[in-house]
Chains A and B, each alone.
Chain A
Amino acid sequence: MTTVTEKAKGFIQVDKRDAKLALAHIYVAFIALFIGGLCGLLQVLVRSGQFTLPWGITYYQILTVHGVLLGLILTTYFIFGFQIAAVSRTAGTLTDKQRSIGWIGFWTMTAGTVAASIMVLLNEASVLYTFYAPLQAHWIFYVGMALVVVGSWIGGIAQIMKYVEWRKANPGQPSPLITFMVVVNLAMWIICSLGVAVEVVFQLIPWSLGWVDKIDVLLSRTLFWYFGHPLVYFWLLPAYMVWYVVIPKIIGGKIFSDALARLSFMLFLIFSIPVGFHHQLTEPGIDSFWKYLQVVLTMMVVIPSLLTAFSLFASFEIRGRELGAKGVFGWFKKLPWKDARFVVPFIGMAAFIPAGAGGIINASHQMNQIIHNTIWVTGHFHLTLATTVVLTFFGAAYWLIPHLTGRILTKQMNHLAIIQAIVWTVGMSIMSGAMHIVGLFGAPRRSDFSTYGGSEQAADWIPYQIAQAVGGTILFIGIILVLYIVAHLLWFAPKGKTEFPIGEVSEHAEKTPMVLENWKIWLTICILLILFAYTIPVIDMIQNAPPGSKGYKLW
C-alpha cells in the first residue's frame, strides 16, 4: 500500500450529495449483512444437531431471514450504492432531478424491505427467499417484495438517465466503460424482474389475499426462475465491473481491452435471461426439448466468462512484465499482495473457478439429478454469491466507503482486511466444501435438523453438518471483522482523500467499435432469444395447466 493518500490531490471526487445517496444504500446493505449473517450462524448450529432455537423461533423463519436479507437486500443495496457512485464518478454528478428519483427509489425499496421483514419476524412468511408456491405467506410480505422490485426500477432509472444525458452530450463517442456496464446490468435487471413482478402481482398477491383459491405452481416457478438466474448475474456483473475497470488501476496496470469488456457484458446480457429452465430440470410439465435448448443457451455463458478470465490474466501478466517479471508465471509474484483492495477481490476471482465449474455441472440437464435439491446447491451459491461476489464487494467497500466519507483506509485496517479475507476463505472452504461433498451423498438442502427416523444414511451426514457449523462459525467471525472495518471507515478513520480507482485502457487495445454500444441491436437479440426460449413452453404450460393448488402454511 503506497501513496493512496499522497497522490489524492488530482482525484475526481464523487459529489457530496451523490455520495450521501450511495452511502444510504451501503448502510442498509451492511445492516442486512449483520442480521442475515447472524441467522446463518444460528442455522448451521441448529443443523449440527447440538443446538435448539430459543423463544419459539423456528428454523425456517431464520432461514428466510438469512436468504432474503443476504440474497436480495444486501446485494441489491450494495450494488445500487456502488453503481450510483460509479456513474457519478465517470459520467458526472447526477442532476437534482436524477438524484431525487434515486432517493424515491431508495425509500420505496426500504419501505418494502421493512414490510417484508416484519412479516417474516412475525412468522407470517417463512417461505424462504424463493417464496415458492404453494407455500403461502401473508400478503404484506409479497407487497413488500413488489415494492423492493419497483423501487429498484425507480432507482435504476435515475442511473440510466445520467447515461442517456452523457450520450446526448457526447455523440459518437463510447461512454465511460463502467457507466456502460452499469446500464447493461440495469437493462438485464429490469427485463428479468418483470417476470417476478408478474408472478407477485398477478399470482401471489391475489391468492394470498384470498381473491382466488388456487395458484398455478408450475407457471409461478417458471416466472420466478426467468428472474432467478439473471438475478445471479445481477449480483455478479458489479463484481466484474470491479475486476475489469478497478483492479487494473489498483495493480498499476491498464485495462486489457475496452472492446472485449463491452462485448463480454453484452454477451452476459443476452445469455443470462433465456436460461431459467436450468433451475427446473427435474420439473414435469416442461418438454424436454425446451429444457435442452435452455441448457445450450446456459452453456454459452462460458464464452464471456473465459473472455473475462483471459482479460484479467492479461492485465496481470502485462503489468508483472512491466515490473520486470521473468518466466511464464513470474508476473504472478509481482502483483500487490499487500493491498487489500487487490487481495480481497482476487480471492473472489479464484473462488469463481470451482464455482463456475460447479455451475456447469448443475446446469447439465440430466446430470442435475445428482445434485438437485441437495445441499451441494447451497455450497455452490455460497461460492458464487457468498465468496466471489461478496469478497469483491468487501474489497470495493475498502476504497468506496472512505472515498464517499472523506476518510482513508489506514495501514492497520488494510492489514485487518486481508486477515478478514483469509478468515472468510478458511471458513468458506470448510463450510462449502462439506456442503458439496455431503450433497453428493444425498443430504437435502433447505431442511431443519432431523435424524429421519434413525436412518443410517442420514446419520452419515451429521459429521459434515458439524463441519458446516465449524465453517459457519468462522464465517461469522469474518462478518464481525468486516463490520468493524466498515464502521471504522464510516465514522472513525482519519480524514483524508481516497481514490475511486478507474483504470485506463491499454495503448495496445484496438479502438472500440460503436456497434458494441448499439442498444437497438443488443436489446433486440436479447428479446428475440427470450421469446424463442420461452414462448412455446409457456403457452404449453397455460394450455395444459396442472390443477391449481391452495396455499399451505407448513411452519
Chain B
Amino acid sequence: MSKKQEKEPELKGTLYSVLFIGTFILVTWFMAFYLFIDRF
C-alpha cells in the first residue's frame, strides 16, 4: 500500500447524486402508494 494522502478526495457531487437517486425512489414509491390507497 502506498502512503495514504492527507487529503480525502472531494465527493460532494457523488453525495448529491446518490441523494437524488434515493429521493427519486421515494417519490415514485409514494406515487404508486397513493394510487394503491386510492384504488383498494
Chain A residues near B (Cβ < 8 Å): 302, 306, 309-310, 313-314, 316-318, 321, 328-332, 353-354, 356-358, 360-361, 364, 366-367, 369-370, 440, 507-508, 511
Chain B residues near A (Cβ < 8 Å): 1-2, 4-5, 8-14, 16-18, 21-22, 24-25, 28-29, 32-33, 35-36, 39-40
Neighbouring B residues of A507 by C-beta, 8 Å: 2, 4-5
**B13 in contact with A508 (CB, 8 Å):** no
Q: List 9 A-B contacts (CB under 8 A).
A: A310-B18, A314-B14, A317-B11, A328-B12, A329-B13, A357-B29, A370-B35, A370-B36, A511-B1
In the complex, A370 Cα to B13 Cα: how many Å? 35
Closest B residue to A511 using CB positions = B1
Closest A residue to B4 using CB positions = A508
In the complex, A541 Cα to B15 Cα: how many Å? 46
**B32 in contact with A313 (CB, 8 Å):** no
Closest B residue to A315 using CB positions = B14
Closest A residue to B40 using CB positions = A369
Neighbouring B residues of A328 by C-beta, 8 Å: 12-13, 16
**A367 in contact with B25 (CB, 8 Å):** no
Closest A residue to B14 using CB positions = A313
Instruction: Count contacts between A and B, CB distance < 8 Å.
Output: 74
- Asked, given contacts A313-B17, A328-B16, A370-B39, whether A364 binds B29 with beta carbons under 8 Å apart, the answer is yes
Neighbouring A residues of B10 by C-beta, 8 Å: 317, 321
Closest B residue to A370 using CB positions = B36
Neighbouring A residues of B17 by C-beta, 8 Å: 309, 313
Of A317, A354, A356, A367, the contact of B13 (CB 8 Å cutoff): A317
Of A330, A360, A369, A511, the contact of B25 (CB 8 Å cutoff): A360
Neighbouring A residues of B33 by C-beta, 8 Å: 364, 367
- Asked, given contacts A309-B21, A313-B17, A317-B14, whether A370 binds B5 with beta carbons under 8 Å apart, the answer is no
- Nearest CB of A to B31, in Å: 9
- Nearest CB of B to A326, in Å: 11
**B29 in contact with A306 (CB, 8 Å):** no
In the complex, A353 Cα to B28 Cα: how many Å? 11
In the complex, A370 Cα to B34 Cα: how many Å? 11
Neighbouring B residues of A361 by C-beta, 8 Å: 28-29, 32
**B39 in contact with A313 (CB, 8 Å):** no
In the complex, A367 Cα to B29 Cα: how many Å? 10
**B13 in contact with A357 (CB, 8 Å):** no
Neighbouring A residues of B18 by C-beta, 8 Å: 306, 309-310, 313
